[in-house]
Amino acid sequence: MRVGALLACPLAAALAPCGGSNVALVTPMVAGSNAVDYGALRSLLEWHVECGTAGVVALGTTGEASTLSGEERDEVLRTAVDVCGGVVPVVAGTGTIDTERAIAMGRRAAELGADGTLVVTPYYVKPPQAALVAHFNAIADAVDLPMILYNVPGRTGVDLLPATVAELARHDRIVGIKEATGDNARVAVLREQCGDDFLLYSGEDAMGREFVALGGDGVISVTANVAPRDMQTMLANPNKSSSIKIDAKLRALHEKLFVQANPIPVKWALHRAGRMGAGIRSPLAALEPQFHEDIDDALRLADVDVAPAAEQDAGANGVAAPPARAVSGASA
Ligand SMILES: *[C@@H]1O[C@H](CO)[C@@H](O)[C@H](O)[C@H]1NC(C)=O
């Protein structure tokens, strides 16, 4: 599977981040202990490669990066590069509130063979626009990888404005932005100000098809964790009537995967689909029972098989691992 393994240096096989469906990958954890389940991670990655996922984004918010140790971050990234290297680009989340630490994490991602980084605006500290420019340019100067900016004001408390993005887009290593403002009117503005080569990703699954139809390049997607093939097919031709039908079929997932803070619902959904245990780390917690039916219903509407309820309970309580299901890639 791994073409890159034939080459001595993983960077020699580096791919560029690209449009289409880029999965914001969860980090599977064993129910009970919450240890990272690298076997389940490897299976998920192999399935994404099989399903034609355009890119893998590891160590993001969906991957619970803030509760992983340095060693765990390294091992998650090594696993992703090992499975995907040379076939599907691997982007590592390396953003944090401290510029120097973001540089250190970016350099580590480069050493481990990542194809790019996704760097969120510093959260909580609310830097002004000029300070954001200095922050991102310092990281881009220091880390020899293509960088994707990440704007998610609802989580960070700061909005990276289009004029600021346009200024940053002049840096050779700043190649795109993940926009999660919930405002698709930004697509045209950013396209106009940043040029045709600047990658525009939506961070909102429910608006993703339209974002690409309006001139965006792709989605960094939570839904793609459970429906990778459908997301990729849909985004390849966003205006086709068959893609509009896929979007409708995935609509409940796009919405219900956010009934509690991401990645709570998507980890539960993957558990219900038999792809991993129900582990999740504090300060997050497993999906509350009143939402379980919502997720099962959304999975069924998306044509994803759901395990019987008895298996769900065993996995959730950490009594037994959920039954291993054949990784066929057949179901979405
Ligand atoms: C695709 O759909 C969008 C609206 O969702 C529209 O603005 C655009 O012109 C369409 N593109 C083509 C090529 O039909």
Residue 164 alpha carbon to ligand 1 centre in Å? 27
Residue of 184, 187, 239, 243 to test ligand 1 pocket, by largest number of atoms within 8 Å of CB: 239
Residue of higher predicted confidence among 311 and 187: 187
| Percent of the chain surpassing pLDDT 70 | 89
| Stretch 168-190: mean pLDDT | 97
User: In whole numbers, what is the pLDDT of the chain averaged over residues?
Assistant: 91
> What is the residue with the minimal CA distance to atom 14 of ligand 1?
239
Question: CA 62, CA 58: separation in Å to the nearest integer?
Answer: 8
Residue 187 alpha carbon to ligand 1 centre in Å? 13
Residue 240 alpha carbon to ligand 1 centre in Å? 10
* Nearest-atom index, ligand 1, CA of 239: 1
| Stretch 166-191: mean pLDDT | 97
Query: Where does the pLDDT of residue 310 fall: very low under 50, low under 70, confident under 90, or very high at 90 and above?
Result: low
For residue range 109-120, what is the model confidence (pLDDT) as tens digits? 999 999 999 999
pLDDT surpassing 70 at residue 90:
yes
For residue range 187-204, what is the model confidence (pLDDT) as tens digits? 999 999 999 999 999 999
Measured between its terminal Cα atoms, the distance across the chain in Å is: 21
| Stretch 259-283: mean pLDDT | 97
* Nearest-atom index, ligand 1, CA of 238: 1
Question: CA 22, CA 63: separation in Å to the nearest integer?
Answer: 13
Query: Where does the pLDDT of residue 308 fall: very low under 50, low under 70, confident under 90, or very high at 90 and above?
Result: confident
For residue range 131-163, what is the model confidence (pLDDT) as tens digits? 999 999 999 999 999 999 999 999 999 999 999
> What is the residue with the minimal CA distance to atom 13 of ligand 1?
239
Q: Could you give the C-alpha distances from 48 to 44, 56, 57, 290, in angstroms and in order?
A: 6, 8, 11, 30
Residue 215 alpha carbon to ligand 1 centre in Å? 8
Q: Please, what sign has the CA dihedral across residues 138, 144, 147, 153?
A: negative
Please give all residues whose beta carbon lies within 6 A of any atom in ligand 1, as ranges. Answer: 210, 213-214, 239
- pLDDT of 85: 85
> What is the residue with the minimal CA distance to atom 9 of ligand 1?
214
- pLDDT of 325: 45
| Stretch 14-28: mean pLDDT | 95
- Number of other CB atoms surrounding residue 261 within 10 Å: 12
| Percent of the chain surpassing pLDDT 90 | 87
* Nearest-atom index, ligand 1, CA of 210: 5
pLDDT surpassing 90 at residue 39:
yes
Residue 191 alpha carbon to ligand 1 centre in Å? 15
Residue with tokens 């979007």: 247
Q: Per-domain residue ranges for the chain?
A: 10-237
For residue range 50-67, what is the model confidence (pLDDT) as tens digits? 999 999 999 999 999 999
Q: What is the value of pTM for the model shown?
A: 0.90
- pLDDT of 21: 98
CATH class of the domain whose range is 10-237: alpha beta
Query: Where does the pLDDT of residue 309 fall: very low under 50, low under 70, confident under 90, or very high at 90 and above?
Result: low
Contact 59, 26 (CB under 8 A): no
Question: CA 184, CA 9: separation in Å to the nearest integer?
Answer: 40
Catalytic residues, which ones?
Answer: 150, 178
